[in-house]
Chains A and B, each alone.
Chain A
Amino acid sequence: MVKSVPTWLRAAAVIFVLVTALILLTPLFVVIGVSVSQSQFIAFPPNGLSLRWYQQVLSSNAYLGAGWISLQVAVMVTVFATLIGGAAAIAIHRRQLMFSDLLATAFLSPLVLPTIIYAIGMLMFWSAVFGPVSPFTLALSHTIIALPYVVRTTLAVLAESDPFLEEAARTMGASRVQRLWFVVVPQCIPGLAAGAFFAFNISFDEAVLSLFLRGPTLTTLPVQIYGQLEFSPDPSVAAVSSIMIALTIMLIFVIDRMLGLTRFASA
């Protein structure tokens, strides 16, 4: 193996990565920095060090209430998206339906439609047909935008699965349901799990749909943050945001454990 990458190029690569990291991550660090500030105002670099804003967040009914709603919606979305998306991915993978290409496109299409357009459409449609929006409406619409991720992660796992396992189960006399439940689903589990965590994260962080489909008692955490930012920004916003960042980081590592992040690239 010829390994002589010129030293200056290696140095350039290191600098390049560092600068990219700086640009990508600075906004997040800044948020965390602001959240531990002592001052009344949003200031960076922070003056003083205190956890008072975290304390304020954890004793604020507005944040806790919004967080509770977000959590409920996110759990619903996780369950819906994983079950529905997983089943759909298995169907797409089997390629027995004449239109399975079209099916795959249909399931991934929410990814490319501007969320804001979908949000407006959903709001108009739902209020015209079913009346006022509820947490369930929000969960359904979040499920729609989370589906592509579950379908994709599950397909990624299925692509590497062994088709003969199912064949073997069949020859040994397993019924359809048994084959599905004991052979196919266990093979999908890493993909399903990764998809589930994606779905949770998407729903928990989603702002545009939640903004349009909100009601007097239906305010999710991102919408609460948004409102706070607009009307009275103080470091408590940064504290909530930091908590959300921490949650995201945790989920990323869980997803990596489940499936390996880099595998999505090659799926």
Chain B
Amino acid sequence: MNDRTESLLLALPGLLLLVLAFFLPIGQMLVLSISGPDGPTLSHFARFLSDPFYLGILWRTVRLSLLITVICALIGFPLAYIMARVGPRLRLWLVVMVILPLMTSVVVRTFGWMVLLSRSGLIPELLRDMGLVGRSFALMQTEAAIVIGMVQVLLPFMTLSILGVITRIDGRLEEAARTMGCSFLQSFRTVVLPLSLPGIVAGSLLCFTLSTSLVCDAQSARRHANTSVGGIDLQIGYPNAGLAVCCSTGGHIIRWHPAGTGALYQDDGLQQWLSQSRHGCVRLP
């Protein structure tokens, strides 16, 4: 046995599992998405891309994901900087604070937001009492709710990506800038910000990728909650074969579609993120 065989043996159970329980199911969906009653067809894709309803959802997914990514970066960067500069004890508490929502079950989180944001919830009631909004005002199941919920979940990815880079910045650079007469904000802008840019980029890629997939989850959950009976629609289309399966089991009516295109285009981001995070410090420009 040589080294290579040993490595292969070690990776084999994982590979088998991935192929059997991940790549095959996904592959089957891809095949379904291009198979029609008579041979391979692109008609599902054509239908998806020509249906303004689906295009609208697609656009909304991209738009919301961009918005979420930007908000995450705006909060995550200062937060990561603060984390890097405080003592280890406080840093641990900050990390726990950022990571806790991510690690909590999605149903629990959603329940919390429901109590806060629904029509009879805390925040709409408060706004109503202050006379700022009308009687039927609710925040739950709005785009605002999706954005708030997603930022809450994705912030750790952004913050920790940036934190990894910031902790590696040579502290003397900042000191040098300060001794040369920069104000704190100047050195922050001209030294810390450019040097942590790789972290921001890596974090943003990760956030955007994850949020496109999560927004998809969120929207479908929302649809499902909205219209339990007639709920036709995720942004994912569906040829009739799998429809029956889903109907019978989940009571969900789902039409699916270019899962594949999504997955492929998302892998690009992953690749970049991986190569950057593997080299520890992301290469500086």
Contact with A along B231-273 (1 / 0, CB 8 A): 0001010000010011001101010100100110011011100
B155 beta carbon closer than 8 Å to chain A? yes
A34 beta carbon closer than 8 Å to chain B? yes
Query: Which of A143, A262, A267 is B95 in contact with, Cβ under 8 Å?
Result: A262
A159 beta carbon closer than 8 Å to chain B? yes
Question: A229: nearest residue on chain B (CB-CB)?
Answer: B111
Beta-carbon contacts under 8 Å, A19-68 to B: 20-21, 23-28, 30-31, 34, 42, 44
B250: chain A residues within 8 A (beta carbon): 123, 211-212, 214
Question: A125: nearest residue on chain B (CB-CB)?
Answer: B25
Q: Is the CB of A121 within 8 A of B29?
A: yes
Alpha-carbon distance A140/B17, docked complex (angstroms): 8
B214 beta carbon closer than 8 Å to chain A? yes
Q: Which of B39-47, B113-121, B129-137 contacts A (4 or more CB under 8 A)?
A: B113-121
Query: Which of A23, A90, A225 is B111 in contact with, Cβ under 8 Å?
Result: A225
Alpha-carbon distance A147/B13, docked complex (angstroms): 12
Beta-carbon contacts under 8 Å, A109-163 to B: 109-118, 120-128, 140-141, 143-144, 147, 159
B55 beta carbon closer than 8 Å to chain A? no
Question: A1: nearest residue on chain B (CB-CB)?
Answer: B175
B229: chain A residues within 8 A (beta carbon): none
Alpha-carbon distance A141/B17, docked complex (angstroms): 9
A261: chain B residues within 8 A (beta carbon): 92, 95-96, 99
A84 beta carbon closer than 8 Å to chain B? yes
Min CB distance A28 to B, Å, is 6
A17 beta carbon closer than 8 Å to chain B? yes
A16 beta carbon closer than 8 Å to chain B? yes
Q: Is the CB of A265 within 8 A of B25?
A: no
Query: Which of B122, B271, B277 is A30 in contact with, Cβ under 8 Å?
Result: B122
B178 beta carbon closer than 8 Å to chain A? yes
Alpha-carbon distance A105/B276, docked complex (angstroms): 12
Alpha-carbon distance A91/B3, docked complex (angstroms): 10
Binding site for B on A (CB under 8 A): 1-2, 4-6, 9, 13, 16-17, 20-21, 23-28, 30-31, 34, 42, 44, 80, 83-85, 87-88, 90-92, 94, 96-97, 100, 103-118, 120-128, 140-141, 143-144, 147, 159, 176, 180, 201, 204-208, 211-212, 214, 222, 225-226, 229-230, 237-238, 241, 244-245, 248-249, 251-253, 256, 261-262, 264-267
4 interchain residue pairs of minimum CB distance:
A27-B112, A205-B105, A121-B25, A88-B14
